[in-house]
Chain A
Amino acid sequence: MSVPAGHPLLEVRGLCVDYGAGPEAVHAVIDADLALHRGEVLGLAGESGSGKSTLAYAVTRLLRAPGMITGGSVGYYPEAGTAVDLLSAQEGTLRVLRWSQISVVMQSAMNALNPVMSIGAQLTDVLRAHRPDISKAARRARAADLLAMVGIAGDRLSSHPHELSGGMRQRVMIAMALALEPQVVIMDEPTTALDVVTQREILEELMALRERLGFAVLFITHDLSLLIEIADSIAVMYAGRLVERADATALFRAPRHPYTLGLLSSFPALHGPRRHLTGIPGSPPDLRQLPAGCVFHPRCSYVMDRCRSDVPALLPLAGAPGRAAACWLQDAAAPPPPELAVPVPGPAASRTGSTARAGSTR
């Protein structure tokens, strides 16, 4: 594992998830290695069907049949207490850990909130289940505090989900996820259905809360351009495999995997001259009929013979601590093409450089 100093809070090793069994099984996540550090925002980027949500559900053992974890380990290393392997933990252990240590913000707040319960009842329900010792009045007060924390007036406790806007519902989801001050918050496309202004407000709040409460975030999204702005480090998934892992700035300025490069050039810029962009030719593969060798090779413009037969492993890159890429171009047999070998900008040249605004949290 190429992890920076300090033990990760959550360590995923060799995780494999299948849907179905036998020869028909679809391999949704293959051999995923990931490390989430204390207080870090780790972005998981990928297109639909890349396995990013499956990975998150597997890590939290929320995966439903026919999804099956077929290999690997997920270590949770809390600050106090003993390490737990989440994949082999008993239900009872999980029940204690979930929400109080590891919580999840689901993709669709509309569906994740109970439509026939008031917001207050749903918030106090969490507290009642995990903190049975506190009084009803105290729970109510805590629920109001939680709402205030995400910028919603306390009198909204008696509102039902349908009375709230999409942005407010998502804020309630975040408040609920933070109710027990967890160490890890897993967010699965938390702002995808929202308008950009609302999305930005919620992300601002989230980052401020992270500063204050110190939780780590696994942030799952298809929007790599957003992730580059908010994440500390990013892992890119394609067709069930992690293809690149790097610090956010390094990934943006100096991608090492052709898929990352293609994704980055799929987002038109907001400034500068308008350039013709090509995106990535073809479409993501059918997971039932994955191509042999590197899963990306049919769409890759740098494809070599080897890519068609041998699967590249996600290996640490020489001379780039904390970075890994699964690409034969990076195996040091030959120098990679210049666009996949852009030097990583030093800290001074990155976006915290001379033109940075004051108050950058990075």
Chain B
Amino acid sequence: MTELRDAAPAPATRTPLLEARGLTKHFPVHGAAPAGRGRRGPGMGAGRGGAVVHAVESVSLALDEARVTAVVGESGSGKSTLARLLCRLIRPTSGQLLVEGRPVRRAGRGRREYARRVQMVLQDPFSSLNPVHDVRYHLARPLQVHRMAEPGAGLDDAISGLLERVALTPAGQFLDKYPHELSGGQRQRVAIARALAVRPRVLLADEPVSMLDVSIRLGILNLLGDLRDTERLAILYITHDIASARYLADTIVVMYAGQVVESGPAEAVTDRPSHPYTQLLLSAAPDPDRDGPPALTGRGAPPSLVTPPPGCRFHPRCPHAMAVCATTAPPGFDVAPGHVSACWLHAGGLDAAQAGPITPHSSGPDPEEETT
């Protein structure tokens, strides 16, 4: 019962474009048999004798059309593993993926069909583009592989169209460039254009701006925002920077040690954080507006994921830890409509949250202020 359903309030009735239910990934620690590879049945890999890294534990989330969902967490929180699972680069130990409501079959069949709907943008545009190929090649390949464009003039038009969609104009200037001739921001735009080539419905962006210079990060974030608004893409934005998540995302999902600890409307999560870990993250984040040095609301480092702490994985660091936290993992509790916190402090639901000891600003039912 550690599941935490992300429930973005606005398109509540719509079927999510991509949904994960109870997604779990355990990596065997060396010596153990490889899990989730080969032709074994689902869920068989983990836990057989050898130790495993509990990288992602029972994560459920939904990516809706024209919404940006941010996954925020520190290194080792499982956010990149989650992206890889969602992209089907690795197989889950257990759990289910649904594309537009239909379960994804586990077999390798349908991979190409899946890739047409779900595409990924990686963190480092210096290594995600092939240095020996020019921009034209990078963009032509997905178009050819997925038969999205006729050879010849149609292909060139499609490539130019892609470059224009990521604001690399005039397109002709970029077609014959090699990655080393482009700046970091331009490279990341090419990587995004490549992902857009197959007209996906879902874009998974794993730390797309963390390798870029500060002054050009916003350009990429704004591009993702535009793609959400104009092309109605469902975007997963993975980041360690909670301020940028607040800026771009509609929904924020906070991960800690492989689990979702809090999710909700972006501003609700950052302005009224209800999970002690989210509060810790926010207290540590750089903030020039702060009056004087911040008071950290916790200490220490994330636990080992080979032997995660029993109960709530955050309890060894939590300033509010109670007896129950050390024994039983908290399920997700509603603290406001669409705002869920996996913390025993909120066990009483909405009423308790309002009187909760750690959320003095919690305002109960809260008409979400949308910024789209």
Contact = CB atoms under 8 A, between A and B. Distances in A.
A283 B185 contact: yes
Interface stretch (B8-16, B278-286, B331-339): B278-286
Contacts of A222: 213-214
A284 B214 contact: no
A302 B244 CA distance: 27
B200 interface: no
B288 interface: yes
Interface string A199-232: 1110010010000000000000011111011000
Contact of A267 (B214, B242, B301): B214
Interface string B264-305: 001100110000000011111111111111111011010000
Contacts of A270: 242-243, 246, 270, 282, 285, 287, 289
Interface stretch (B35-43, B154-162, B215-223, B322-330): B215-223
Given A267-B214, A274-B247, A283-B183, A195 B74 contact: yes
A267 B243 contact: yes
B41 to A, nearest CB: 37
Interface stretch (A123-131, A140-148, A306-314, A354-362): A354-362
Given A224-B214, A279-B217, A279-B219, A362 B292 contact: yes
B287 A225 contact: yes
Contacts of A224: 214
Contact of B371 (A262, A274, A283): A274
B290 A229 contact: yes
B294 to A, nearest CB: 7
B218 A226 contact: no
A5 to B, nearest CB: 25
A77 to B, nearest CB: 29
Chain B residues touching A, range: 35 or more
A351 interface: yes
Nearest to B185: A283
A279 B75 CA distance: 26
A327 to B, nearest CB: 16
B240 interface: yes
A280 interface: yes
A268 B213 contact: no
Chain A residues touching B, range: 35 or more
A266 B284 contact: no
Contacts of A165: 301
A228 B288 contact: yes
A288 interface: no
Contacts of A19: none
A167 interface: yes
A352 B242 CA distance: 25
A278 interface: yes
B186 interface: yes
Interface in B197-221: 213-219
Contacts of A284: 183, 213, 215
Contacts of A279: 215-219, 222
Main SS class of interface, A: loop
A252 B288 contact: yes
Contact of A263 (B186, B215, B298): B215
Given A274-B246, A274-B247, A266 B217 contact: yes
Contacts of B74: 195-197
A280 B288 contact: no
Nearest to B302: A195
Contacts of A47: 213-215
A353 interface: yes
Contacts of B215: 47, 262-263, 266, 279-280, 283-284, 299
Given A48-B213, A224-B214, A279-B217, A196 B293 contact: no
A271 B271 contact: yes
Nearest to B245: A268
B28 interface: no
B225 to A, nearest CB: 9
A180 B222 CA distance: 48
A199 B284 contact: yes
Nearest to B317: A197
Most buried by B among A167, A225, A360: A225
B287 A195 contact: no
B184 interface: yes
Contacts of B267: 274
Nearest to A222: B214
A198 interface: yes
Given A262-B215, A268-B244, A268-B246, A356 B292 contact: yes
Contacts of A197: 74, 280-281, 284, 296, 298, 301
Contacts of B222: 276-279
Contacts of B216: 279-280, 283
A204 B295 CA distance: 10
Interface in A271-291: 271, 274, 276-281, 283-284
A214 to B, nearest CB: 18
Given A229-B293, A283-B216, A352-B292, 14 more contacts: A197-B74, A225-B286, A226-B286, A229-B290, A229-B294, A252-B288, A267-B214, A268-B218, A269-B287, A274-B266, A277-B222, A278-B218, A279-B219, A280-B216
22 contacts: A48-B213, A195-B75, A196-B240, A197-B284, A204-B293, A224-B214, A225-B286, A229-B287, A229-B288, A266-B214, A267-B288, A269-B287, A269-B289, A271-B289, A274-B246, A274-B267, A279-B216, A283-B184, A284-B215, A351-B291, A360-B293, A361-B292
Identify the 10 closest CB pairs spanning chains A and B, nearest first.
Answer: A279-B218, A268-B247, A360-B292, A200-B284, A228-B288, A280-B215, A195-B74, A226-B286, A283-B183, A47-B213
